[in-house]
Amino acid sequence: MMATLAALVGCGVQKFTTLSPDSFQESIKDADIQLVDVRTAEEYAEQHIPGAVNIDVYADDFVDQCLDRLDKGRPVAVYCRTGRRSASAAEQLRKAGFKKVLNLEGGIVGWIESGKPVNRAPANP
């Protein structure tokens, strides 16, 4: 699996890895990966990657929710709409002690543009 972009801190220590939609899709096939949609509940309800749980990065208790619901010892894959919020979420998770954090390049927009599957809300009659 090839990372298209790695986020680094000034001293060169990797904080999290940003992956292309293809690489991200391969990564989340691993049963050990915890897939998290960090958008709002409304955005998640409209469409999300199958198997994702929703934890809103804008919630005041985002990190606490992650610590309660996720295993710090297992890899976490995060995404949002375009990749900005998930990059912030990934950074927060690494600071909270999560060992391996993956971020989806281009977010769900890039995912959909790459032809990847999503669960969509039923159309209103």
**Residue of 80, 87, 101, 102 with catalytic role:** 80
Does residue 11 have an active-site annotation?
no
DSSP secondary structure letters along 30-97 = STT-EEEE-S-HHHHHHEE-TT-EE--TTSTTHHHHHHHHS-TTS-EEEE-SSSHHHHHHHHHHHHTT
Q: Which amino acid is at 25?
A: Q
Q: What are phi and psi of 54, to 5 degrees?
A: -110, 120
Taking only Cα atoms into account, the Rg of the chain, rounded to an integer number of angstroms, comes to: 14
- For 59, the token pair is 């919630």
Q: Which residues are catalytic?
A: 80
